Amino acid sequence: MARTQVAIIGAGPSGLLLSQLLHLQGIDNVVLERQSREHVAGRIRAGVLEQGSVDVLLQAQVGERLLNERLVHDGFALGFAGRSFRVDLKGLTGEAVSVYGQTEITKDLTEARIAAGAKLFFDARDVAIGGIDTAHPTVRYAHGGRTQELSCDFIAGCDGYHGVCRRSVPAQAMQSFERIYPFGWLGIMADVPPVSQELIYSNHERGFALCSMRSARRSRYYLQCGLDEPLEAWPDARFWDELRRRLPPQVGETLITGASIEKSIAPLRSFVVEPMKFGRLFLLGDAAHIVPPTGAKGLNLAAADARMLHQALAHYYRTGSTESIDRYSELCLRRVWKAVRFSWWFTTLTHKFSEDPFSHRLQLAELDYLTGSRAALTSMAENYVGLPFGEPPLARSR
The one of ligand PHB, ligand APR, none whose footprint includes residue 47, by CB under 5 to 8 A per kind, is ligand PHB
In angstroms, give the least distance from the CB of 127 to ligand APR. 4
Closest to 305 in 3D by CA, of 280, 325, 275, 328: 328
In angstroms, give the least distance from the CB of 349 to ligand PHB. 13
Q: Cα Rg for the chain, rounded, in angstroms? A: 21
Give contact residues for ligand PHB (rule: CB under 6 A).
Answer: 46-48, 199, 212, 220, 293-294, 296
Element of type H or E holding 126 = strand 125-130
The one of ligand PHB, ligand APR, none whose footprint includes residue 286, by CB under 5 to 8 A per kind, is ligand APR
In angstroms, give the least distance from the CB of 153 to ligand PHB. 36
SS (HEC) of 192-209: CCCCCCCCEEECCCCCCE
- Which residue in 194, 248, 292, 293 is the catalytic one? 293
For the question of residue 293 being annotated catalytic, the response is: yes
Which of 296/333 has CB closer to ligand PHB? 296
Cβ(378)–Cβ(92) below 8 Å: yes
> Is residue 148 helix, strand or coil?
strand
The one of ligand PHB, ligand APR, none whose footprint includes residue 296, by CB under 5 to 8 A per kind, is ligand PHB
Cβ(5)–Cβ(314) below 8 Å: no
In angstroms, give the least distance from the CB of 193 to ligand APR. 25
Which of 42/392 has CB closer to ligand PHB? 42
Which of 331/367 has CB closer to ligand PHB? 367
For the question of residue 201 being annotated catalytic, the response is: yes
The one of ligand PHB, ligand APR, none whose footprint includes residue 280, by CB under 5 to 8 A per kind, is none
In angstroms, give the least distance from the CB of 175 to ligand PHB. 28
In angstroms, give the least distance from the CB of 306 to ligand APR. 8
For the question of residue 162 being annotated catalytic, the response is: no
Closest to 177 in 3D by CA, of 23, 373, 341, 352: 341
- Which residue in 297, 310, 351, 352 is the catalytic one? 297
For the question of residue 392 being annotated catalytic, the response is: no
Give contact residues for ligand APR (rule: CB under 6 A).
Answer: 9-15, 32-35, 40, 45-46, 102, 124, 127, 158-160, 163-164, 284-287, 298-299, 302
The interaxial angle of helices 374-385 and 357-372, nearest 10 deg, is: 90
- Which residue in 13, 23, 73, 292 is the catalytic one? 73
Encode burial over 187-215: b for 16+ CB neighbours within 10 A, e otherwise: bbbbebbbbbebbbbbbbeebbbbbbbbb
The one of ligand APR, ligand PHB, none whose footprint includes residue 252, by CB under 5 to 8 A per kind, is none
Burial (Cβ within 10 Å: 0-12, 13-18, ≥19) of residue 36? exposed
For the question of residue 297 being annotated catalytic, the response is: yes
Which of 19/196 has CB closer to ligand APR? 19
The one of ligand APR, ligand PHB, none whose footprint includes residue 294, by CB under 5 to 8 A per kind, is ligand PHB
Cβ(50)–Cβ(105) below 8 Å: no
Using alpha carbons only, give the angle 207, 86, 222 rounded to the nearest 5 degrees: 30
Instruction: Report the C-alpha gap between 74 and 76 in whole angstroms.
Output: 7
Encode burial over 339-352: b for 16+ CB neighbours within 10 A, e otherwise: bbebbbbbbbbbbb
- Which residue in 201, 221, 316, 328 is the catalytic one? 201
Which of 264/321 has CB closer to ligand APR? 264
Instruction: Report the C-alpha gap between 241 and 249 in whole angstroms.
Output: 12
Which of 265/302 has CB closer to ligand APR? 302
The one of ligand APR, ligand PHB, none whose footprint includes residue 212, by CB under 5 to 8 A per kind, is ligand PHB
Which of 9/296 has CB closer to ligand PHB? 296
Question: Could you tell me the CA-to-CA distances from 22 to 26, 57, 60, 216 in Å, in that order?
Answer: 6, 13, 9, 35
In angstroms, give the least distance from the CB of 363 to ligand APR. 25
**In sequence order, what are the residues at sequence separation of 6 or more whose Cβ sits closer than 8 angstroms to the Cβ of residue 196?**
77, 211, 251
Residues known to be catalytic: 73, 201, 293, 297, 384
